[in-house]
Amino acid sequence: MTQFTLLFASLLGGLAIVFGAFGAHALKKILTEEQLKSFETGVKYQMYHALVLLLIGFHFKLETISEKYMAISFVVGVVLFSFSIYGLVISSAKNKKLRFLGPITPLGGLLLVCGWCLLFYNILITS
């Protein structure tokens, strides 16, 4: 589980750089200011949580069920949250908004909150 977490952290971190550059250069010409800000929000949250995944991958053994759920909550949460934002923004810019992605964003956010709560719990019980 630790290797999975660290691999996903590095993948999400690297993709955040790629998507950030893509948004700043290629998408800047076709997105509105509001759409660009939404896209950047997805990139920021992706990078923040890539860093959190690195920290928990190095700090926790990720053997207990609560530690595993913590890592999974962060991974699935950031994928649902950030990638649904990317899909919504890009499809909206092409006038083909993928509306089914709308409810996925808050579900991803909820999983991120669950990850943070489980991080709190895991730190509390190991102290």
pLDDT tens track for 50-94: 999 999 999 999 999 999 999 999 999 999 999 999 999 999 998
Q: CA separation (Å) from 114 to 4, 12, 65, 123? A: 19, 19, 14, 14
Number of domains in the chain: 1
Residue-number span of the structural domain to which 90 is assigned: 2-126
Model pLDDT, residue 29: 87
The whole-angstrom separation of Cα 54 and Cα 114 is 17
Give, rounded to a whole angstrom, the gap between the first and last alpha carbons of the chain.
Answer: 22
Model pLDDT, residue 97: 86
Mean pLDDT confidence for 82-111: 95
Model pLDDT, residue 28: 87
Predicted TM-score of the model (pTM): 0.94
pLDDT tens track for 7-56: 999 999 999 999 999 999 999 889 999 999 999 999 999 999 999 999 99
The whole-angstrom separation of Cα 46 and Cα 76 is 11
- pLDDT exceeds 80 at position 127: no
Whether the Cβ atoms of residue 85 and residue 43 lie closer than 8 Å to each other:
no
Model pLDDT, residue 41: 97
The whole-angstrom separation of Cα 84 and Cα 90 is 10
Model pLDDT, residue 111: 98
